[in-house]
Amino acid sequence: MDLLTSLKMHNQPFGGAWVEQTRLDIGADLMGVLAVDEHSHDDFLYAIKTFLPTAKACVVLGMEYDSEIMNLIKRPDKYGAGPKTGDLLSPHVNQLNRVVDQANYDLARLLKKQGFRSIALPSRGLPFRPGQMKASLSYTHVAEAAGMGTIGTHSLLITPEYGTRVRLTCLLTEAPLQTTNRIDPIDDCTHCLDCVKICPAQAISAPGTSERYKVDGFRCKFYRDRVDNCGLCQKVCSYATGHSENQGGPLVASSNFVELVSAAHHQQQFGEEE
């Protein structure tokens, strides 16, 4: 379905129905929107000014990691004769980057055909800000502001749908899209600190009172380069947040977690029952 047909059908330009239909059309697993204006956070405005100063919205696309690949993530001392973590994880991440970039490119084309300047940013390799070891735009922070999940103690996005098993990218557009708000009030991080305990590089620390996370990116990268990828914090969080049924089983939201989210939805819609 093209954009104009979609707009006519839903009679609500760029609302939630448009987002959902477009997500399906471009084949993304998750899609969220953050509308931006001059009052938006400086971190978002920096990227807008740098890449598309006339942008009115930032779209985040997410693609799910294959749970079978996640199941194979192990500590190096557990490799034995089996595959190393990076043997399958690294090619899978490359594949996910290609797929999410393609969906992003398709969305940019779709919006451009309707007359809205748009730019699909790459899922990997966005330039740093001059003089800083900080990416021009944090996709994770945009995704959280777009109501797609919560940033956990490991600094990754935790989504209600897939936990940490999501690969993100962003698009900037002049189209006046509406922000997608989260309807449940749940903090997806359970603050169990399992990610802190499992990190073999001690790159994740328990956050202080005024911090949300404390991660040493250099330690993490050094370790991953040395042992050929890692992902242990992502995997353990899948268990901690109920996105794994049991060890070695499929990584899917547990029934407990689904019930928790449903209850929160219900409470949001109907309020506390007497």
Residues that bind ligand SF4 (CB under 6 A): 152-154, 189-195, 199, 201, 203-204, 220, 223-224, 230-233, 236-237, 240-241
Q: How far is the CB of 181 from ligand SF4 (least distance, A)?
A: 22
Q: Please report, for residues 37, 110, 121, 240, the alpha-carbon distance to residue 40 in angstroms, rounded to integers and kept in the order given.
A: 6, 25, 19, 33
> Residue 262 phi/psi, 5° resolution?
-60, -40
Which residue(s) pair with 34 in the sheet?
A: 58
Q: Please report, for residues 7, 79, 110, 117, 235, the alpha-carbon distance to residue 172 in angstroms, rounded to integers and kept in the order given.
A: 20, 42, 13, 8, 31
In the bound complex, which residue of the shown chain has the CB atom lying closest to ligand SF4?
A: 152
Q: How far is the CB of 122 from ligand SF4 (least distance, A)?
A: 21
Q: How far is the CB of 123 from ligand SF4 (least distance, A)?
A: 17
Q: How far is the CB of 199 from ligand SF4 (least distance, A)?
A: 3
The single residue listed with the structure tokens 């997806």 is 188
CB 56 within 8 A of CB 177: yes
Nearer residue to ligand SF4 within complex by CB, 171 or 201: 201
Nearer residue to ligand SF4 within complex by CB, 17 or 192: 192
Give the count of beta carbons closer than 10 Å to the beta carbon of residue 260: 16
Q: How far is the CB of 58 from ligand SF4 (least distance, A)?
A: 24
Nearer residue to ligand SF4 within complex by CB, 168 or 189: 189
CB 46 within 8 A of CB 138: no
* Amino acid letter for position 26: I
Nearer residue to ligand SF4 within complex by CB, 206 or 263: 206
The closest of 273, 242, 237, 247 to 258, measured between CA atoms, is 242
Nearer residue to ligand SF4 within complex by CB, 110 or 203: 203
Tokens standing for residue 50: 């740098």
Using the Cα atoms of residue 173, residue 27, residue 244 and residue 90 in order, give the sign of their dihedral.
negative
Q: How far is the CB of 164 from ligand SF4 (least distance, A)?
A: 7
Nearer residue to ligand SF4 within complex by CB, 32 or 163: 163
